Amino acid sequence: MTEPQTPEPQTPEPLTTDAETGRTAVVFPGMGPFRFTDVGEFLLTNPHARRRLAIADEVVGYSVFDRYRQSDAEEEAQYAEHTQIAFLTICLSLADWAEETLGVRPELCAGPSFGQRAAVTYAGSLPFEETVRLTAELARCEEEYFRQEHREAVTHCVIHTPEERLREALAELDDAGEWHDISGYIDQGFYLVSLREPVLDRFKKRIGELGGYNMYTMWPPVHAPAFGALRRKAEEEVLGGFEVADPKLPVVADQSGELLTDAAGVRTMLLDTFNRPIRWPDMVATMREQGITKVCIAGPDNLFGRVTSTGENFEVVAIDARKAMRPRVRQRSARRARR
């Protein structure tokens, strides 16, 4: 399904964070569909990506790059363990590159949905090695859970759907005795809805009739209040084996917009991701309260850097693989060219 086209964000460089330009935040995007052809060369040639990939390979015991390349065309592998690790690696490597090349010095960081994994690593609450292991173990935990519970559940993204119209469509599911949860509040008229796949086509048709637009559908499903048992399973079987440290950089919680400055808050956020909806408008509000005027979106993103609330409140800088691969003229060479 083709996503609606939105204008490319402006990407001025180099970046500064002095008093005249305000404060900067690094935002790691949630994980949506992304193609190997867009990031493969970056993973293969960028020194930051190569370093992180080597670490990731050692942690999981296989070549993340090879598995991602081989499974890129397989729809069922879009959110597979190795794809998640590749996405995490890309996002953090792009942040490394932005620090080194563009001089990015953020005041805080944020990561809606899957982006929180990169955010807690960037903030220093978990070493990269541990986040790779956490990602792999949580992917297996989720897969096991959804093979047994909520086996028909998916999460669907709708846009251009006013809240009253969405409520109308959800009320019709209620009337039919169908389960549903709102899993994400992305922007005005922009939501993530979890429901059973057998009623998805009917729901999509109704959204279209109400003037809305259907985007992509995700499995495994995410952020639904009905998944409390998954949260408990993840805590008991996975996260309990990890030591989360106080972040060195404040982290904005993606479920509430709360500014997290201690390990307990970060740990709670990592667990809440399973059964609390994400609220991007609340994250935007907190960043504005903290004086942020510029957000650098580090990673493949077709969503959070493009929605209205982001563009209206911040200067948006896309830090993506295409930008990082673009040749940069050295200062000395530039001076010679002017002579």
Alpha helices, DSSP H only, in 61-197? 64-71, 81-97, 115-122, 128-148, 163-175
pLDDT at 338: 38
Q: Is residue 215 within 8 Å of 157, Cβ to Cβ?
A: yes
Within a domain: 69: yes
Identify which of 13, 4, 6, 7 has the alpha carbon closest to the alpha carbon of residue 323. Answer: 13
Domain count, the chain: 2
Q: Is 26 helix (H, G, I), strand (E, B) or coil?
A: strand
Please give the Cα distance from 295 to 26 (Å, whole number): 6
Q: Which candidate, 251, 293, 287, 250, places its Cα nearest to that of 24?
A: 293
Quick one: 214 and 241 in the same domain?
A: no
pLDDT at 21: 54
Q: In the listed set 183, 203, 218, which residue is the last one of a domain according to the structure? A: 218
pLDDT of residue 19: 41
Give the Cα separation of 304 and 6 in Å (integer). 12
Q: Hey, is 195 helix, strand or coil? A: strand
Q: Which of 178, 199, 218 is the last residue of a domain?
A: 218
Q: Which of 203, 218, 233 is the last residue of a domain?
A: 218
**pLDDT of res. 77:** 66
Q: pTM, whole model, 2 decimals? A: 0.88
- Contact (CB, 8 A) for 11 and 317: yes
**Is 230 in the same domain as 332?**
yes
pLDDT along the chain (339 residues), means of 10: 38 40 89 83 93 97 93 72 95 96 94 96 97 97 95 95 95 96 96 97 96 91 96 96 96 97 97 97 96 95 90 94 73 40
Tell me, yes or no, whether 251 and 210 share the same domain: no
CATH of the domain at 167: 3.30.70.250
- Please indicate, yes or no, whether residues 68 and 86 belong to a single structural domain of this protein: yes
- 87: domain range? 23-148+225-338
What are residue 222's phi and psi, to 5 degrees?
A: -140, 155
Query: Could you tell me how far CA 336 lies from the centroid of its own chain?
Result: 42
